[in-house]
Structures are given as C-alpha cells and as structure tokens.
Chains A and B, each alone.
Chain A
C-alpha cells in the first residue's frame, strides 16, 4: 500500500511570498490532517478534514493560512504571505477515521529567508 505522499520535500522562499504544499493521502483514508512541526518539538495540528469538510481548523492561523481538500482526496495547504516564523516542517497525515492510527508523509521542510 502506498503511503502518504507530500510535495515538495523542501521549499525555500523569501518572506511575504506565497507557498503551497500538496498531500495525497493513503487510498481510502477519509480523514486527513495537516500538522506543523517546529525543530525539536512534536507535531501540532493545524487542520483536520473528514472527507472534504474541514471539521477542526481551530489552530489554523486563518489570516494567512488556508487549506482545501477538493473531492475529499488530495489536499493543499497554502500560506500567503509567509513570515519568518513559519519556517517549520509541514506534515500531512491520514487515517481511516479519527479513532484509527494516523499515517504520516515525510513532510515539506519550509525555510523562510
């Protein structure tokens, strides 16, 4: 079974520029998550989708972050404009449902100059 696929693996941009991350979850997984992981810390949830519906976006900084999951499969996470403090690894995870193990992709490492 193919795992969660994320792209790009690395992204370097200047502050105030926009950036987007893409995630393809494991086939059949209805629940999709975006996390942010700062260096030396555990992942922190940004948003959770059930199919195409964002059911928990309470930790998403909505002034600059947006996400979508059209058709309930792939998802994109966007930052516009990026700030220096956004440098982190952005992880996508998926699960069959919220009470099953989450499986993570390898993330996108974002560096803001």
Chain B
C-alpha cells in the first residue's frame, strides 16, 4: 500500500510565529497532494493543494512546498493563530489511483 508519513507527530508554536509542518511521501508517481486541517470532532477541512508540475503554491497565510527529488511536502503557516490549533494531514494521490492516501497527522498547538 501507499505510505505517507510525517516527520513530527506534534508541534508547538508561539502565537504570531510561523509554523512549518513536514510530510514525506513514498510514491514517486504521485502527482497530486493536499493538506487538510482537522479540528476535534470535525471532518478534515481542505487547506491547499499542489500538483506535481509545481514546487510552490501560496494561499491565504499558507504556503505548500513540494520537493519531488526527496519526496517531501511541507505546509507553512504564517503568523500562526490560536485558531490554527488542529491536526494537519497531508495526502497524496498516486497517478491513476484517483484516491487519496493520508498520513497519520501532526498535531499543531498554538501557545497564546
């Protein structure tokens, strides 16, 4: 099966600092990647996606970086706020699979 892993299971940051959440993926054929945020008792919420023909994509306060050489994905959150506290998942869609494979997740805690 596919394997999508995260380097750190937990991350604590001070409010106002930038956060970086990392993710390693195993399938070099994956061509689509998504970051999700999941708050307690809720379903995963789409944050940002990126396709393999790009190495960077920016949204509102978030940036996703894709390094296909080392099969690494990261999510950067600028000026982290208490409302950003949640579990963050990266997910990959291998070419032809049309399905997402999720990692275990990283719990981000923002310290006021």
Contacts and interface: CB of A to CB of B under 8 A. Distances in A.
Contacts of B42: 106-107
Contacts of A42: 4, 89, 91, 102-105
Interface residues of B, number: 22
A97 to B, nearest CB: 9
Interface stretch (B11-19, B44-52, B57-65, B71-79): B44-52
A45 B45 contact: no
A104 B43 contact: yes
A53 interface: no
B45 A104 contact: yes
A85 interface: no
The dominant DSSP class at the A interface is loop
Contacts of B46: 101-103
A40 interface: yes
A107 B42 CA distance: 7
Given A41-B105, A98-B99, A101-B34, A91 B44 contact: yes
Contacts of B34: 101-102
Interface string A17-59: 0000000000000000100000011111100100000011000
5 contacts: A42-B103, A43-B44, A45-B100, A48-B98, A56-B98
